[in-house]
Amino acid sequence: MKLKKFNTRIFAGINDKEIQFKDGLNVLLGPNEAGKSTIINGIFATLFNDPKIKKGTKKDKEFNKKFLPYPDGEYIHGNLIIEDDGDKYRIEKKWSRNNPSVLLELPTGNMIDDLDKIDNTLNDILLYGESTYDNIVFVKQSDVKAAVKRIAENTDVRSTVNNFLRKAVMEMDGIVTDEIKAKIENEKDDLLARWDLDRQQPENTDRDVNNPYKVGTGKIYDAYIEKERVKQKIRWAENGEEKLQKINQEIETLEAELKTAIKKLDELSEIEDDINKRIELEPELKRKEEKFEDLNEIETKWPELNQAIKEQNKKLEEFNKELEQLNQEKADYDKLKQKEELEAKLNKIAELNSKLEELNNEKEKYAEIDEARVEELADLESKISNIDAQLSASKLKAKIIKSSSSTRVVRGVGDEEEITAGSEIEADGFLRIHNKDIDLEVSSAEIDFEELKANYDSAREKYNKMITELEALDISNSREARAKLKLKNDLARDIEQAQKEKDKLLDSNSLEELKEEYAKIEVPDAIREVDVIEKEIETLKDDKISDLKIKIKTGENKIAEWQEEYNSLEELKSEITTLETEINDINKELIALAELPEEFETKDEFRQKLKDLRKIKESKTKAQNEKNQELIEIQETMPDESLEELEENQANKERKFNSLEDRARRLLKVEAAFSETLAEMDEKSFEPLINSFSCHLNTLTAGNYQASNINDSFDIEIIKEDAERKLPVNMNILSFGTYDSVALALRFALYDNLFADKPGFIILDDCLVNLDPKRTEKAIELIKNFQDKYQIIFSTCDPETARRLGGNVIDL
């Protein structure tokens, strides 16, 4: 992974800065305070720092203090383009407490703004985490030298290069191996004396807060006693502190409200006189301006209105002539409609005459039928039916067993008929059986058959005669006769109705008189529909003529009104000139006055606000004095510490106690893990690092030496390739230049092993300042060789060093 470009809008003391990096060696050249370190810190922050600046963490506090622009900076910004296997990624961050942001642009052009996804993507590219980059890639030369010096001054180090490098790796990760064990033991004693960590209580439960140990205690026990003592103090202070807190809040609120009211009152009071003057002048100005506009409008309209009235009167004459023509056309239409109505009436009368003739002829067919004949026919049918019913109620039954001659019978009122021997005979009321040997009549004893028979025959005869007479009308019974009578009556009513309709149409006139009237009416050949004519008349009268008359009258009234008020157009113009002068004078006076603040819509609101603020000031001041007196009375009864302070103290004590217990548990885990780690590290695992370190040290010692061993005095033994003699180099008396050489060789060796498979970039501050000319030359040679595989960012304030290094020089 390589750096391509970094830019920032603002970061610490630099702003609007852009730096372009190339492959190989890049030299940041500039004097002290030019921003070299700030650019490097900006690159690191863009890669690793969370954009949200928190208030609670030490890291964020330091970041904020170091890089946020002083004194009023709200944010810092970094934008970095990196390249990985030919693909370019752009990371942009804005650090802020309130409005942070982060964005990663992928090689595809897609954007990611989710911090977790961005971190995952960068982890894949960077291979290692923030700590590795902080301690190896970005670390300052002075930090590496400090680690080497601490190792060199430790007399307990095993005399091997392997052990030196192992110690150096740990130092680079913040671990001092020679001190760690002693520190762990001392820390355990310092934390756990008189305390049972497993049971989370004092070793002796009787030695609690009411009877504590005086000496020989650890931090956890002391923290426990402290938090318990604070708990005791809280119990008796709660009620008073609650009241104190409440009254303090009320006083703070009153103070803030009073301060705000006084500030606003002072601000508005300064312009009160000007606003009052505006209240006096602006309505007067508005009245004069309105009048000025009105007079100007009248000046323009007066001659225009005179001309308009003349044109309107001329147009009115045209409309009246058009109305006369339309009224004549409507009169012709009325005559046409009158003639059409007479024609329709005559046609209707002719139609009714034809209908009357047809109805009378039809009625004549039923002349023989009347109500009396229908009733008589119905009576005869009823009588015959009744006799039949009486006979039917007297059933007779007989059977001829044997007869020597033909036998004939008469059943009831029926006709005589012939029957054969052995036949059964049934009859209603009367039965006669006779032949040449016998003549037998049988009748019911319950009826007078003879009388019934006589009545039946009489009724039947009359009935048959009437049916015969009505046969031509297709009548065979009283029901049909009644239907024909109804038809006759219906025809009579139709005739009467038609006659009435005819008489109504004639209306006391004769048919000849109507025909004569029709012939006298004359109309033009082509006449429009009355709706069209009447619509045009209505539009002309109601819209055009009426509106025009109103306009003329209105215009005449308006001119009369102007003449009454201004006498003439010339005098009106003179008044306009005077009014314009008065308006200009008022405007000049207003320009010198303060404007009404934008927060007020009206001046009345402004005056009311002043009144309200003065009342607020008075009431808040009074309330504040009362609350202060109440506060003094409460404070006199309170302990030195407030409940809030006690609770905060108790929470701090609780956190301190929990933190110390957690620290003790972690310390025990660290102790076990540290022992296990030391046991796992062997010489073989450091062979690649030893080889790389030896190679780079050989170059930097300017004599083709390589590291051979480290003796009990921590002398690095070096051996020349063409000789067998070993030369000791005592680390305790090394020069600054030698320290720099060893530190630089160590850092390159670590970087070689970490980024062997995927070359990246390394940041070097000016690591050549303590080297002699020969070693400087060798170091420059080593750096130039290093640039063939890695991207190097070298910072220096020396132009000569920059010239000798070459590469991409970035002049700051």
Please report the DSSP string for 451-485 in residue order: HHHHHHHHHHHHHHHHHHHTGGGT--SHHHHHHHH
In a domain, 450, yes or no: yes
Query: What would the DSSP string read from start to end of 736-774?
Result: HHHHHHHHHHHHHHHHHHHSSSS--EEEE--TTTTS-HH
What mean pLDDT is reported for the chain? 81
Domain, as residue range, for 12: 2-21+33-130
**721 and 757 assigned to the same domain:** yes
Boundary-marking domain end, from 99, 130, 161: 130
Give me the pLDDT at residue 714, please.
38
Q: Give tens-digit pLDDT for 247-274.
A: 888 888 888 888 888 888 888 888 888 8
* Across 128-132, 373-377, 556-560, least confident range: 128-132
CATH of the domain at 766: 3.40.50.300
What pTM did the predictor assign? 0.40
Q: Give tens-digit pLDDT for 440-464.
A: 787 777 777 888 888 888 888 888 8
pLDDT bucket at 160, cuts 50 / 70 / 90: very low
**59 and 147 assigned to the same domain:** no
In a domain, 709, yes or no: yes
Give me the pLDDT at residue 396, please.
78
Calpha distance 412→387 (Å, rounded): 10
**72 and 157 assigned to the same domain:** no
Number of domains in the chain: 3
Calpha distance 157→178 (Å, rounded): 8
In a domain, 602, yes or no: no
Neighbours of 637 (CB within 10 A): 9
In a domain, 9, yes or no: yes
**51 and 70 assigned to the same domain:** yes
**126 and 145 assigned to the same domain:** no
Give me the pLDDT at residue 687, please.
66
Q: pLDDT exceeding 70 applies to what percent of the chain?
A: 87
Average pLDDT over residues 359-366: 84
Is 197 strand, coil or helix?
Answer: coil
**7 and 105 assigned to the same domain:** yes
**377 and 451 assigned to the same domain:** yes
Boundary-marking domain end, from 414, 444, 469: 469
In a domain, 694, yes or no: yes
Chain centroid to Cα 151, Å, comes to 64
Residue 208 pLDDT > 70, yes or no? Answer: yes
**157 and 90 assigned to the same domain:** no
More confident residue, 148 or 606: 606
In a domain, 422, yes or no: yes
**687 and 801 assigned to the same domain:** yes
Q: Which of 179, 132, 131, 169 is nearest to 148 (CA)?
A: 169
**42 and 114 assigned to the same domain:** yes
Residue 281 pLDDT > 70, yes or no? Answer: yes
Contact predicate 359/498, CB 8 Å? yes
Calpha distance 6→82 (Å, rounded): 9
Burial (CB < 10 A; 0-12, 13-18, 19+), residue 696, is buried
Give me the pLDDT at residue 730, please.
47
**147 and 95 assigned to the same domain:** no
Q: Give tens-digit pLDDT for 480-491.
A: 888 888 988 898
Calpha distance 579→574 (Å, rounded): 9
Greatest mean pLDDT among 444-453, 529-538, 726-735, 786-795 lies in: 786-795
Contact predicate 51/119, CB 8 Å? no
H helices of 49-90, where?
58-67
In a domain, 136, yes or no: no
pLDDT bucket at 643, cuts 50 / 70 / 90: low
Q: Give tens-digit pLDDT for 742-789.
A: 778 888 888 887 787 778 899 998 788 778 888 888 889 889 888 888
In a domain, 146, yes or no: yes
Strand segments (E) across 111-194: 111-112
Boundary-marking domain end, from 77, 107, 130: 130
**73 and 161 assigned to the same domain:** no
